[in-house]
C-alpha cells in the first residue's frame, strides 16, 4: 500500500457524494491480492467538478479525460497513485456495472467506512457489500475471462483487444463463447482510434504475451489488430524455418518473453539488461514490452522479399523493407516518434548479429556494430537469440543454436565491458586541431576523418594526438 493512500482515501470520503462506488480494475486487482495504485470511482453525477475539488484538497492535479462521458483523473507529483472519477452510466450502480466489458471488471463496492478499511487492510478477504451482477467474482476465482455480453463488446470494439490484454496480465483463460464473439467481430477493431489500440497493445506486451498472441492468431484476431502481418501467412516453412512466417513471428515473440524472464540462467548480466529494458521511450512506455513487439514484427519484410532458388527460400533485404513497414505501422498507430524509430531500428538491425556470426568477427567489425547501434545493441543481441530459437527447421543444428547463444552473450558482455568505456573515452584530437594540422577548411570531410580516427583509437592503433594526426596524413597520402 502506498503511504499516502490512507490520507487520500480519507479526503475522498469527505467529498464523494452518496452513491459513490469503487469499481472495475481496482477491485479486481485488490481481490487478486495486489496493491493497486489506480483507483476507479463511479459517482452519480458531476465527476469533473468533483475531481477538481478533490485535487485542490489534496495537492493533486486534475486532468479532464472525457467531457462527453464526464470522466476525469487526479494525479499527484512524485506518486504513482491516480484516481479516475467517472459519471455513472445508467440509472443505478448495478445498471452501470452491467454495461461494462468483462465480468471481472463489473464489480462494485459502495464507498463507506467498511470499504475504506478493507482497502487499507492487506489481509482482508471478500468485502461485505460487494456488487457482482454478472458473476465476476466466480470468474475471478476460476481464472476465467468472460465478456458480460456480445453486445457489450461491440459497444466499444477496443474491448475485443482488452480481453486479450487482461489474459496477458492475469494469466486467465478466455472462455470459449467470448473467444467466438471476438473471432466473429474481429474486423470491428479497425473502427477504434489507433492510439487506443496502440496503448492496449503495449499493455498486452507488458504482461505474459506469448500464449495470448498464439490464441489471437488462432482466432484470426492477430491480423485484425495488426493487418501489416496478414501477408506473413502466405510464406511457407523452409529448410531453416519449421513454421510459416506468421507462426514463426508469434514463436519468436514467445521465445523473447522466455528469454527476458531467465537472463541470469542464460548467462546474461541481468541487472544492466533490466536497466536497459526499463528505459522509457515515451509516455511511460518502456523498452521491455516493445522488445517483445519488435520480436513479433521483426519479419514484416519477408513476404515482399520472398523468392525461391530451387528449393532454397531467400528474403534478400527483408530487414530494410521490414523497417520501412514498421515505420509506416508506427505512424498508423500514432506511436510517438521515439517509439516508432526504436521499433523500426530493431526490425532493421535484427540480422546484424547473424552477419557477425557468419563472417570473421574482428575487433573492427565489433566496434562498428556497437558504434552503429549503441545501447540498442543489447536489444538486437537478444532479438537474434530469440529469432534463432524460433527458427528450428531441419537444416538447423544444435551447434547453430549454441553458436547464436554464444555470440549473444559475447555481444551483450562486450558492449558493457568494452564498448561503453571506449565510447566514454575523450577523442585524441578534435575537429579544430585536425583542421589546423591538415590545413583544412570546415566541411563534411572533417567529420568523416574524425569518425575514422575514433575507430582507430578504439582499436588501439593510435594512442595520442600526434599519432592521430600522423595516421590522418598517411590516409590522405594513400587514399
Q: Regarding predicted confidence, which is higher, 65 or 326?
A: 326
Element (H, E) at 354: helix 352-357
CA-wise closest residue to 39 among 102, 101, 115, 94: 115
Indicate whether 197 pLDDT > 70. yes
Residue 264, CA distances (Å) to 70, 114, 140, 259, 450 in order = 48, 45, 33, 10, 39
Euclidean distance between CA atoms 250 and 261, whole angstroms: 17
Question: Under a CB-based contact definition with an 8 Å cutoff, are residues 434 and 449 in contact?
Answer: yes
Question: Under a CB-based contact definition with an 8 Å cutoff, are residues 319 and 349 in contact?
Answer: yes
Q: 148: exposed, middle or buried (C-beta count within 10 Å: 0-12, 13-18, 19+)? A: buried
104's grid cell: 471481472
Comma-separated ranges of CATH 3.30.460.10 domains in the chain: 1-142
**What's residue 35's pLDDT?**
84
**What's residue 359's pLDDT?**
81
Euclidean distance between CA atoms 297 and 157, whole angstroms: 23
CA-wise closest residue to 113 among 123, 127, 131, 126: 127
Residues 6+ away with beta carbon under 8 Å from 464: 428
CA-wise closest residue to 199 among 181, 178, 225, 175: 225
Q: 429-464 pLDDT, tens per residue? A: 999 999 999 999 999 999 999 999 999 999 999 999
Euclidean distance between CA atoms 343 and 336, whole angstroms: 11
For 272, list phi and psi in degrees, rounded to 5: -65, -35
Over residues 259-281, the mean pLDDT reads: 97
**What's residue 309's pLDDT?**
87
Q: What is the dihedral of CA 265, 267, 271, 276, to 10 degrees?
A: -110
Whether this prediction's pTM lies above 0.85 is answered by: yes
**Angle CA(287)–CA(289)–CA(290) in degrees, nearest 5?**
60
**What's residue 127's pLDDT?**
85
Euclidean distance between CA atoms 156 and 412, whole angstroms: 43
**What's residue 67's pLDDT?**
84
Element (H, E) at 281: strand 280-282
Over residues 30-42, the mean pLDDT reads: 89
**Model confidence at 411, in pLDDT bands (50, 70, 90)?**
very high
Q: 346-383 pLDDT, tens per residue? A: 999 999 999 998 888 899 999 999 999 999 999 999 99
Coil vs helix vs strand at 324? helix
Indicate whether 385 pLDDT > 80. yes
Indicate whether 124 pLDDT > 90. no
Indicate whether 12 pLDDT > 80. yes
For 141, list phi and psi in degrees, rounded to 5: -70, -30
The torsion region of residue 310 among left (phi > 0), alpha (psi -120 to 50) and beta comes to left
**What's residue 222's pLDDT?**
98
**Model confidence at 163, in pLDDT bands (50, 70, 90)?**
very high
Q: 63: exposed, middle or buried (C-beta count within 10 Å: 0-12, 13-18, 19+)? A: middle
Residue 238, CA distances (Å) to 253, 392, 401 in order = 20, 10, 17
**Model confidence at 1, in pLDDT bands (50, 70, 90)?**
low
Name the average pLDDT for the chain.
Answer: 94
Coil vs helix vs strand at 260? helix
Euclidean distance between CA atoms 30 and 122, whole angstroms: 9
Coil vs helix vs strand at 204? helix
**What's residue 66's pLDDT?**
85
Indicate whether 101 pLDDT > 70. yes
What CATH architecture applies to the domain 1-142?
2-Layer Sandwich (3.30)
**Model confidence at 90, in pLDDT bands (50, 70, 90)?**
confident
CA-wise closest residue to 233 among 279, 315, 134, 299: 299
**What's residue 424's pLDDT?**
93
Over residues 59-84, the mean pLDDT reads: 91
Question: Under a CB-based contact definition with an 8 Å cutoff, are residues 217 and 229 in contact?
Answer: no
Q: 311-352 pLDDT, tens per residue? A: 889 999 999 999 999 999 999 999 999 999 999 999 999 999
Element (H, E) at 87: strand 82-87
Give me the residue label for grid cell 513479433: 296
Euclidean distance between CA atoms 151 and 173, whole angstroms: 21
Over residues 123-133, the mean pLDDT reads: 86
SS3 content of the chain, % helix, strand, coil (to 5): 60, 10, 30
Indicate whether 33 pLDDT > 90. no
In percent, how much of the chain has pLDDT > 70?
A: 100
Amino acid at each position: 500500500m502506498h503511504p499516502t493512500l490512507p490520507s487520500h482515501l480519507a479526503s475522498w470520503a469527505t467529498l464523494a457524494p452518496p452513491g459513490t462506488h469503487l469499481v472495475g480494475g481496482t477491485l479486481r486487482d485488490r481481490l487478486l491480492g495486489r496493491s493497486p495504485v489506480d483507483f476507479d470511482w463511479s459517482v452519480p453525477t458531476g465527476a469533473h467538478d468533483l475531481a477538481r475539488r478533490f485535487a485542490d484538497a489534496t495537492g493533486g492535479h486534475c486532468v479532464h479525460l472525457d467531457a462527453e462521458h464526464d470522466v476525469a483523473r487526479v494525479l499527484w507529483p512524485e506518486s504513482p497513485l491516480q484516481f479516475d472519477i467517472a459519471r455513472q452510466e445508467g440509472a443505478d450502480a448495478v445498471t452501470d456495472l452491467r454495461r461494462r466489458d468483462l465480468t471481472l471488471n463489473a464489480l462494485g463496492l459502495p464507498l463507506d467506512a467498511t470499504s475504506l478499511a478493507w482497502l487499507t487492510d492487506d489481509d482482508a478477504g471478500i468485502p461485505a457489500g460487494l456488487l457482482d451482477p454478472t458473476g465476476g467474482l466466480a470468474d475471478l476465482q476460476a481464472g476465467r475471462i468472460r465478456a458480460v455480453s456480445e453486445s457489450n463488446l461491440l459497444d466499444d470494439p477496443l474491448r475485443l483487444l482488452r480481453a486479450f490484454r487482461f489474459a496477458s496480465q492475469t494469466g486467465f483463460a478466455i472462455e470459449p463463447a467470448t473467444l467466438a464473439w471476438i473471432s466473429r467481430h474481429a474486423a470491428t477493431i479497425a473502427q477504434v482510434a489507433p492510439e487506443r489500440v496502440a496503448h492496449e497493445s503495449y499493455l498486452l506486451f507488458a504482461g505474459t504475451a506469448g500464449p495470448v498472441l498464439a490464441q489471437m492468431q488462432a482466432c484470426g484476431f492477430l491480423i485484425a489488430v495488426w493487418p501489416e502481418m496478414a501477408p506473413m501467412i502466405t510464406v511457407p516453412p523452409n529448410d531453416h524455418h519449421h513454421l510459416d512466417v506468421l507462426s514463426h513471428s508469434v514463436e519468436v515473440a514467445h521465445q523473447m518473453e522466455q528469454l527476458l524472464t531467465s537472463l541470469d540462467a542464460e548467462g546474461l548480466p541481468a541487472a544492466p539488461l533490466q536497466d536497459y529494458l526499463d528505459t522509457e521511450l515515451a509516455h511511460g512506455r518502456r523498452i521491455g514490452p516493445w522488445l517483445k513487439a519488435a520480436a513479433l514484427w521483426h519479419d514484416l519484410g519477408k513476404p515482399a522479399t520472398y523468392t525461391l532458388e530451387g528449393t532454397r527460400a531467400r528474403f534478400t533485404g527483408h530487414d530494410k523493407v521490414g523497417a520501412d513497414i514498421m515505420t509506416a505501422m508506427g505512424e498508423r498507430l500514432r506511436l510517438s516518434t521515439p517509439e516508432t524509430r526504436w521499433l523500426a531500428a530493431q526490425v532493421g538491425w535484427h540480422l546484424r548479429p547473424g552477419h557477425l556470426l557468419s563472417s570473421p568477427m574482428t575487433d573492427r567489425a565489433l566496434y562498428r556494430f556497437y558504434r552503429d547501434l549503441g545501447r540498442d545493441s543489447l536489444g538486437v543481441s537478444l532479438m537474434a537469440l530469440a529469432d534463432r530459437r524460433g527458427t528450428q527447421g531441419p537444416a538447423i543444428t544444435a551447434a547453430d543454436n549454441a553458436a547464436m547463444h554464444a555470440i549473444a552473450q559475447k555481444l551483450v558482455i562486450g558492449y558493457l565491458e568494452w564498448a561503453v568505456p571506449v565510447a566514454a573515452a575523450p577523442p585524441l584530437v578534435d575537429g579544430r586541431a585536425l583542421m589546423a594540422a591538415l590545413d583544412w577548411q570546415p566541411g563534411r570531410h572533417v567529420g568523416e576523418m574524425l569518425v575514422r580516427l575514433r575507430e582507430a583509437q578504439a582499436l588501439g592503433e593510435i594512442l595520442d594526438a600526434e599519432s592521430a594526426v600522423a595516421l590522418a596524413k598517411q590516409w590522405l597520402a594513400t587514399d
